[in-house]
Amino acid sequence: MTGKLQWVESLITKFGGQHILVVGDLMLDRYIYGTVSRISPEAPVPVVRVMDEKNMPGGAANVARNIQALGGCAQLCGVVGQDPLGQELLAVLARDGITTTGVMQLPGMRTTVKTRIIAERQQVVRVDWEDQVKLPVESLRVLCRESAAAVRRSTGVIIADYAKGAIRQELVAAILSAAKRHRIPVALDPNQNTVLKVQGITVATPNRKEAFSLARVPEQTPKDNPLKDEALARVAGILMKQWGPSFLVITLGAQGMLLASRSGGRVHIPTVAREVFDVSGAGDTVIAALLLAVAAGASEKEAAELATCAAGVVVGKIGTAVCAGRELMAFYQVLVKTGMNVVRRS
């Protein structure tokens, strides 16, 4: 057990030497915190008395924030509007030490903002302001060129697609070409509404719903044991053939995640969350921890195990949260003390 903790500590220490490029849809997450003591006389809805407000990076920007929190160095490539909200997002990112030289500000574009109202530790409602990103041809060329150049300065790349329009096939092709030349691992957080050719990626992390949709298989009721879920196994096989990654991680919510490799083997990694308050942004944490671990030299199974634990930390928090390296280490220490084996079946 002491050896296990030493391995985790050594891996987390190596995160400090990783420079991760995150390319994707950038958003501003706004949180309004308050209390509820009565129902509105105008409609059967709670009246929230506002106590605090907070702006945080969202979407691909939250992936970068997780990289930074875990000890890595994050650089962002993407687009925001040339508006006050875009400036606010860039200011929030600068506060977290994230490099934004690869972020373009487009005139006429409205920066995507998701506002969540939280009362009594529960999300009451979410309000979204967003427009589909419409990149002019020249702007797309610049983004492709800047992203490819940034790949060369990185030890890992994450493509975070939230179907807002920033992720285009031309951009993905430029990233994968540069990554192949420089032998840089690439992770993809796909979206079910975007069809991309991504042959050459290292790992993809769709959730169950996305996986079934992208494999064009009707989603079925999950089995109690994911390793005996024939539909899930079929979907994993289709996506492995379709994308050709080194390995695939399908996140399964309360069931944890399924790891599929090129050898055809599958491993179920159960969730290790002690408390679940909010799953917002948990997928961002998974891909950030997973790619950091791979870039630092972890095996597929080790990286997936680490990502599961990082997700276990963030779902115990309210809002779009991150997992710090020290929190991940503390989480592992508790697991070791209780004798829990993260990888339960293989």
In the annotation, is 161 catalytic? no
Phi, psi values for residue 164, rounded to 5°: -95, -5
CB-based contact 19:155 (threshold 8 Å):
yes
Amino acid found at 275: E
In whole angstroms, give the CA distance from residue 308 to residue 323.
Answer: 11
In this structure, the strands spanning 266-269 and 257-261 are antiparallel
In whole angstroms, give the CA distance from residue 90 to residue 80.
Answer: 9
DSSP structural state of residue 153: T
CB-based contact 204:243 (threshold 8 Å):
yes
In whole angstroms, give the CA distance from residue 131 to residue 145.
Answer: 24
* Candidates 161, 229, 278, 284; catalytic one: 284
In whole angstroms, give the CA distance from residue 283 to residue 24.
Answer: 14
Q: Which of 305, 211, 339, 338 is nearest to 8 (CA)?
A: 305
The 3-state DSSP composition of the chain as helix, strand, coil percent (nearest 5) reads 40, 25, 35
What positions carry a catalytic annotation?
284
